[in-house]
């Protein structure tokens, strides 16, 4: 029977010693050497003195190879396994007031960011508790449960209220289980009976082939059913308000929709991505509760209204999606601000407008710009002279054409020649004076 070999990384000062103890004890137990950690005097009396010393030497030689040089040089004077074990606890599990204060600060400051992994959040939380327990710091389980609830972001306020007001007492284990179940429910994949047919509109048209009368049902954005029609001559009439529909046989649009309802930037076009990482998990739920699988995550470059090529990061590749979506909530979380007026949606950061969207007849805001694909995504030469001139104009605080021409003559614009500057509305607004 082949022997099992367990590779354990070297122990250093950054290793979680509480978990490393369990692994090292398991290795010694498999070799029947765990008694050596108790000391020679506490070994079974059935062993002779020579057998006890031999067993202790074997345990000591098993522990040494698992120590880094930094740790090994501090424990070379320890001649027994028990003494070495105690010395390792003193080095790797400091129980000073400073260490306890540092670990408590980590516990109270630990927060779950919006959109971050709940599993990773709980893993770090349990790691902190494990280190505190190793330092002999005790907490009431109810207090730990309340601390964990306080670490959740505002989007979990409903979950937090449900936990707090549904019981008179709780433990940290109950919060673990409830939070894990809640997170799984949020990512639950439910396979529908039919593929998603609408991005915002719910419902579809059902024709009765056996009857000369049919009924068309369309749902508006309030979910109410409106409209009725006769199908004898295949003429359809409805006063329902249609926001946007994307049927299965339609072509994928090349426009970008500025959407306040989606949680991520998404696109079905694989060849648009300049960087790409395949993922095996994750779905997108559509308006009709249909689910589309996320195939990958990457970045896409888009040439904006002002000629500047900007990069959309963390874009989800959803092959079955029929629209390219830019998530306004994602931009908001990154510090961008958006306002809509007179059919134009402006996205800005500080005083700089970085994106614009024009409202179409579908009442959707469509990005004013185009996707940069192929070699144009990495080659700066793809920009026209007019675009580059406008970019330098904006970079230099809206400097006039004469000033930029002078800088170009001095070679201060990377060798770029300046052409005639086109109309700039920002300069016009900046020169206006209040009457």
pLDDT value, residue 325: 92
The structure tokens 């470059």 sit at 301
Backbone angles phi, psi at 91, to 5 degrees: -80, -45
Where in the sequence of the chain do the CATH 2.40.70 domains occur?
256-376
3-state secondary structure the chain: CCCCCCCCCCECCCCCHHHHHHHHHHHHHHCCCHHHHHCHHHCCCCCCHHHHHHHHHHHHHHHHHHECHHHHCCCCCCCCHHHHHHHHHHHHCCCCHHHHHHHHHHHHHCCCCCCCCHHHHHHHHHHHHHHHHHCCCCCCHHHHHHHHHHCCCHHHHHHHHHHHHCCCCCCHHHHHHHHHHHHHHHCCCCCCCCCCCCCCCCCCCECCCCCCCCECCEECCCCCEECCCCCCCCCCCCCCCCCCCCCCCCCCCCCEEEECCCCCCEECCHHHEEEEEECCCCEEECCCCCEEECCEEEEEEEECCCCCEEEEEEEEECCCCCCEEEEHHHHHHCCCEEEEECCEEEEEECCEEEEEEEECCCCCEEECCEEECHHHHCCHHHCCHHHHHHHHHHHCCCCCHHHHHHHHHCCCCCCCCCCCCCCCHHHHHHHCCCC
Cα–Cα distance measured from residue 137 to residue 135, given in angstroms and rounded to the nearest whole number: 6
User: How many residues are listed for the chain in this entry?
Assistant: 435
| Torsion 417-420-425-427 (CA) sign | positive
CA 333 to chain centre: 12
pLDDT value, residue 49: 84
Question: Which residues have C-beta within 8 Å of that of residue 259, sequence separation ≥ 6?
Answer: 325, 326, 327, 328, 364
pLDDT value, residue 288: 66
Closest C-alpha among 278, 276, 292, 201 to residue 240: 201
Closest C-alpha among 68, 65, 66, 56 to residue 31: 56
**Largest interatomic CA distance in the chain:** 104
Could you read off the pLDDT tens digit of each residue along the chain, which spans 435 residues?
Answer: 344 555 667 777 666 777 777 788 888 888 888 888 888 888 888 888 888 888 888 888 888 887 878 878 878 888 888 888 888 877 777 677 887 888 889 899 999 988 888 889 998 898 888 888 877 888 888 899 899 999 999 888 888 888 888 778 888 888 888 888 888 887 664 444 434 433 443 344 443 444 444 444 444 444 444 444 433 344 444 444 444 434 444 445 788 999 888 888 999 988 888 899 998 888 887 766 678 889 999 999 998 888 888 889 999 999 888 889 999 989 988 889 999 888 899 999 887 888 999 988 778 899 998 888 754 444 444 456 777 788 778 878 888 888 888 888 877 776 677 888 877 877 877 665 554
pLDDT value, residue 188: 64
Asked if residues 291 and 190 have their Cβ atoms less than 8 Å apart, the reply is: yes
pLDDT value, residue 264: 87
pLDDT value, residue 367: 92
Q: Which residues of 114-126 are buried (b: 16+ CB within 10 A; e: fewer)?
A: eeeebeebbeebe
pLDDT value, residue 297: 92
Cross-strand pairs, 422: none
Q: What angle do CA 401, 403, 407 make, to 5 degrees?
A: 115
pLDDT value, residue 256: 92
pTM of the model: 0.36
CATH architecture of residue range(s) 256-376 = Beta Barrel (2.40)
């Amino acid at each position: 029977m082949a022997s099992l070999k367990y590779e354990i990384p070297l122990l250093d000062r950054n290793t979680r010693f509480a978990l490393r103890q369990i692994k090292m004890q398991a290795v010694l137990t498999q070799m029947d050497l765990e008694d050596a950690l108790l000391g020679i005097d506490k070994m079974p009396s059935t062993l002779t003195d020579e057998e006890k010393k031999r067993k202790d030497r074997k345990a000591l030689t098993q522990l040494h190879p698992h120590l880094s040089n930094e740790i090994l040089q501090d424990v070379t004077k320890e001649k027994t396994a028990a003494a070495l074990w105690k010395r390792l606890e003193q080095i790797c599990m400091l129980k000073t007031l400073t260490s306890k204060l540092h670990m408590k600060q980590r516990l109270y400051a630990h927060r779950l960011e919006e959109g971050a992994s709940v599993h990773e959040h709980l893993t770090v939380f349990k790691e902190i508790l494990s280190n505190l327990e190793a330092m002999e710091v005790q907490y009431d389980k109810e207090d730990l449960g309340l601390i964990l609830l306080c670490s959740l972001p505002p989007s979990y306020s409903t979950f937090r209220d449900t936990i707090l007001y549904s019981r008179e007492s709780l433990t940290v284990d109950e919060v673990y289980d409830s939070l894990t179940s809640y997170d799984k429910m949020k990512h639950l994949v439910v396979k529908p009976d039919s593929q998603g047919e609408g991005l915002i509109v719910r419902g579809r048209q059902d024709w009765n082939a056996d009857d000369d009368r049919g009924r068309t049902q369309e749902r508006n954005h309030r979910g109410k059913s409106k409209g009725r029609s006769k199908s004898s001559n295949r003429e359809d009439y409805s006063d329902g308000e249609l926001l946007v529909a994307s049927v299965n046989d339609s072509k994928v649009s090349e426009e970008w929709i500025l959407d306040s309802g989606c949680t991520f930037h998404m696109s079905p076009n694989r060849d648009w991505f300049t960087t790409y990482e395949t993922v095996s998990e994750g779905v997108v739920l559509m308006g009709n509760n249909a689910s589309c699988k996320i195939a990958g995550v990457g970045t896409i470059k888009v040439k904006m209204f002002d000629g500047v090529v900007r990069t959309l990061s963390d874009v989800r590749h959803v092959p079955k999606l029929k629209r390219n979506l830019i998530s306004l909530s994602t931009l908001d979380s990154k510090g961008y601000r958006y306002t809509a007026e007179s059919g134009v949606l402006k996205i800005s950061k500080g005083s700089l407008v970085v994106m614009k969207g024009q409202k179409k007849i579908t009442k959707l805001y469509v990005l004013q710009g185009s996707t940069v694909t192929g070699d144009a995504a990495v080659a700066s030469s793809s920009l026209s002279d007019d675009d580059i001139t406008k970019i330098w104009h904006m970079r230099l605080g809206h400097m006039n054409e004469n000033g930029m021409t002078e800088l170009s003559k001095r070679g201060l614009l990377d060798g770029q020649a300046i052409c005639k500057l086109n109309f700039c509305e920002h300069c016009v607004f900046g020169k206006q004076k209040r009457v």
